[in-house]
């Protein structure tokens, strides 16, 4: 056994409004982007399986909720994001997008909700908080858009095939009907609460933004309703199985969406829409990208890990950007950035041994079902 | 608190060693180690007949979280490996001191056991690792 390197520095780590609940639930707390967050509450695999088969809940209060307001907000969002908010016609509708720099590199990926033409809400990553806020404030000034961070709000994701059924009875009477009828990728306000049918697991469920003061009680009610506390460990294996990228691992400012399997999130039409990074992306599209992000399935035993080297037949080398053991498939899976000419198979350097892997198209799992043949 | 049986010896790299009646030594990872690593998903064992030096990397335990080398607490020849773990790695999480043992070796020099920690020393060592 190599010696443990559990980081426990005495620097002040931030705590979410659910910190005491994590302690009460036996959560193993680790540092995540400066936040003290539960990696698991005992068994990551059992938590993962609960979300695939039943219902689990995640404290995602460390993520940043930002409200954008002002008359020219829609116009600003159209310019800020690589995806086109004009796809959002109905109030409450959500859109996944990258926020790019001028070079076409990804500053962050996010979910944006259209509420009114003068009011959009974004949820961005915790690890990118400072640079996101700097960028937003810098870009918003020219549009007279007000950028308001909402640190007084908590956020709980309730995910799994039974998540909605278990969460709905706990919502207020005023919103229950609307929340029951909520279509996928829509959100609805209930006073200070915002209930959205979105997630990061490949399962049905809600992401619920609520006042920090209400968070602990709601968490306890969910737990009493049979929703299992689930840590960041399972959140990572669930999103990987679901074929969803993780910022900082699968893309960053040196990588464009075209090299991160996120080309589908770039709205090229209408051609006259200018957005930050468009010129750089168009150039890259015309010249062609040299690498691509693919899914890998390890053929035999072993575990794929971030940064392992990928060796291809004649196309050159690549690297795993996110790798883990898939509890649903009982095999190692990964995303890897590989040369464009990579074929259907490759080898991965797993602790000094070259092991055969198959190149596959994510998702690996959706709604509890395997999406690739083993 | 993690379970640290008094009858075992421990290495700083978190293996335990149990001296059997026949003089062989059964090796596994401590309860603290399995708890830190989390759910085991893959275990690579040494070969029977392989000769190991003390502190030689000879097995791998992989959890969802990380891969970790296992080092021989004392030198000797591997006389048996726990094949059942290949299909049921989770046994290490469930019963590391019992069914979750990794391999058994015949020590070349029993005196090497003296370099390992007893339970009390290992508990102090664990406490010193948590700051």
pLDDT digits (tens, 9 = 90+) for A218-253: 999 999 999 999 999 999 999 999 999 999 999 999
In-domain check, residue B58: yes
Q: Is residue B42 a contact partner of residue A325, using CB atoms and an 8 Å limit?
A: yes
B39/A231 Cα distance (integer angstroms): 13
Q: Give Cα A123 distance to the centre of its chain.
A: 10
3-class secondary structure, A337:
strand
Q: Is residue A302 a contact partner of residue A350, using CB atoms and an 8 Å limit?
A: yes
Q: What is the pTM of this model?
A: 0.94
Q: Which two tokens stand for residue A170?
A: 């706990």
In-domain check, residue B131: no
Can you give the pLDDT at residue A12? Answer: 83
Q: How confident is the model at residue B16 (pLDDT cuts 50, 70, 90)?
A: very high
- Residue pairs between chains A and B whose CB atoms are closer than 8 Å: 64
Partners of A123 in beta bridges: A65, A111
Q: How confident is the model at residue B1 (pLDDT cuts 50, 70, 90)?
A: low
Quick check: B42 contacting A, CB < 8 Å?
A: yes
Q: Write the DSSP string, A8-74.
A: ---S--B--TTHHHHHHTT-EEEEETTEEEEEESS-HHHHHHHHHHS-EEEE-TTSEEEEEESTTHH
Q: Is residue B33 a contact partner of residue A1, using CB atoms and an 8 Å limit?
A: yes
CATH code of B115's domain? 2.40.50.100
User: Is-cis flag, bond preceding A270, omega within 30?
Assistant: yes
In-domain check, residue B31: yes
Quick check: B15 contacting A, CB < 8 Å?
A: yes
Closest CA to A361 of A350, A342, A108: A342
User: ipTM, 2 decimals?
Assistant: 0.87
In-domain check, residue B106: yes
- Looking at the structure of chain B, the number of domains it has is 1
CA distances from B82 to A244, A354, B21 (A): 37, 25, 18
**Which residue from B64, B71, B131 is facing A325, i.e. has the nearest CB?**
B64
Quick check: B57 contacting A, CB < 8 Å?
A: no
Chain B residues in contact with A10 (beta carbon < 8 A)? 131
Counts of helices then strands in chain A (DSSP H, E): 9, 21
Percentage of chain A surpassing pLDDT 70?
Answer: 97
Can you give the pLDDT at residue B72? Answer: 98
Q: Which residues of chain A have a Cβ shorter than 8 Å from any chain B Cβ?
A: 1-4, 6, 8, 10, 39-40, 43-46, 233, 237, 301-303, 305, 324-325, 327, 351
Q: Give Cα A286 distance to the centre of its chain.
A: 29
Contact (CB<8Å) B42/A301:
yes
Contact (CB<8Å) B65/A1:
no
Q: How confident is the model at residue A4 (pLDDT cuts 50, 70, 90)?
A: very low
CA distances from A68 to A74, A94, A133, A338, A363 (A): 9, 14, 12, 37, 32
Contact (CB<8Å) B70/A3:
no
In-domain check, residue B1: no
In-domain check, residue B3: no
In-domain check, residue B4: no
Closest CA to B40 of B51, B49, B27, B31: B31
Closest CA to A75 of A150, A131, A142, A149: A142
Q: How confident is the model at residue B2 (pLDDT cuts 50, 70, 90)?
A: confident
A60/A260 Cα distance (integer angstroms): 24
Range of the domain at B52: 9-126
A197/A180 Cα distance (integer angstroms): 10
Q: Is residue A51 a contact partner of residue A237, using CB atoms and an 8 Å limit?
A: no
B5/B25 Cα distance (integer angstroms): 15
Counts of helices then strands in chain B (DSSP H, E): 4, 9
Distance, in angstroms, between B75 CA and closest chain A CA?
A: 16
User: Is-cis flag, bond preceding A363, omega within 30?
Assistant: yes
User: What would the pLDDT profile of A122-136 be if each residue is shown by its tens digit?
Assistant: 999 999 999 999 999
Give, for B16, the enclosing helix (H) or strand (E): strand B15-19
Across residues A320-329, what is the average pLDDT? 98
Quick check: B88 contacting A, CB < 8 Å?
A: no
In-domain check, residue B64: yes
């Amino acid at each position: 056994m190599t010696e443990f390197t559990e980081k426990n520095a005495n620097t002040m780590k931030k705590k979410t409004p659910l910190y005491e609940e994590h302690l009460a639930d036996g959560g193993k707390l680790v540092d995540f982007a400066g936040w003290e967050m539960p990696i698991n509450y005992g068994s990551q695999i059992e938590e993962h399986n609960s979300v695939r088969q039943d219902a689990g809940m995640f404290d995602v209060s460390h993520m940043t909720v930002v409200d954008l307001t002002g008359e020219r907000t829609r116009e600003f969002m159209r310019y800020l994001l690589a995806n086109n908010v004009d796809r959002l016609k109905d109030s409450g509708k959500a859109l996944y997008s990258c926020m790019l720099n001028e070079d076409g590199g990804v500053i962050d990926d996010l979910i944006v909700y259209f509420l009114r033409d003068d009011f959009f809400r974004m949820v961005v990553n915790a690890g990118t908080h400072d640079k996101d806020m700097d960028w937003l404030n810098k870009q918003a000034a020219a549009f007279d858009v007000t950028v308001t961070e909402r640190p007084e709000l908590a956020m709980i994701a309730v995910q799994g095939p039974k998540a909605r059924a278990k969460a709905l009875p706990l919502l207020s009477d005023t919103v229950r009907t609307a929340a029951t009828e909520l279509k996928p990728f829509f959100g609805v306000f209930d006073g200070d609460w915002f209930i959205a049918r979105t997630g990061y697991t490949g399962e049905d469920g809600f992401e619920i933004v609520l006042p920090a003061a209400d968070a602990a009680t709601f968490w306890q009610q969910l737990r009493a309703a049979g929703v299992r506390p689930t840590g960041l460990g399972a959140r990572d294996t669930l999103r990987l199985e679901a074929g969803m990228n993780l910022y900082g691992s699968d893309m960053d400012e040196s990588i464009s969406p075209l090299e991160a399997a996120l080309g589908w999130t770039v709205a090229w039409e209408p051609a006259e829409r200018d957005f930050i990074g468009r010129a750089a992306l168009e150039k890259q599209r015309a010249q062609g990208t040299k690498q691509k992000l693919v899914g890998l399935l390890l053929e035999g035993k072993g575990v794929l890990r971030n940064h392992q080297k990928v060796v291809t037949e004649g196309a050159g080398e690549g690297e795993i950007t996110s790798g883990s053991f898939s509890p649903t498939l009982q095999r190692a899976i990964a995303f890897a950035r590989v040369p464009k000419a990579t074929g259907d198979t490759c080898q991965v350097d797993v602790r000094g041994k070259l092991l055969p892997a198959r190149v596959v198209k994510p998702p690996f799992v959706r709604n509890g079902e395997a999406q690739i043949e083993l | 608190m993690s379970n640290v049986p008094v009858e075992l010896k421990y290495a700083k790299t978190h293996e335990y060693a149990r001296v059997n009646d026949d003089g062989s030594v059964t090796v596994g990872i401590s309860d603290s180690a399995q708890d830190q690593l989390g759910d085991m998903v893959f275990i690579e064992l040494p070969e029977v007949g392989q000769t190991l030096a003390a502190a030689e990397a000879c097995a791998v335990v992989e959890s969802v979280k990380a891969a970790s080398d296992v080092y021989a607490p004392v030198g000797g020849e591997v006389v048996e490996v726990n094949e059942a773990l290949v299909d049921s790695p989770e046994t290490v999480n469930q019963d590391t001191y019992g069914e979750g043992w990794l391999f058994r070796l015949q020590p070349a020099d029993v005196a090497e056991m003296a370099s390992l920690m007893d339970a009390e020393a290992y508990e102090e060592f664990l406490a010193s690792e948590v700051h």
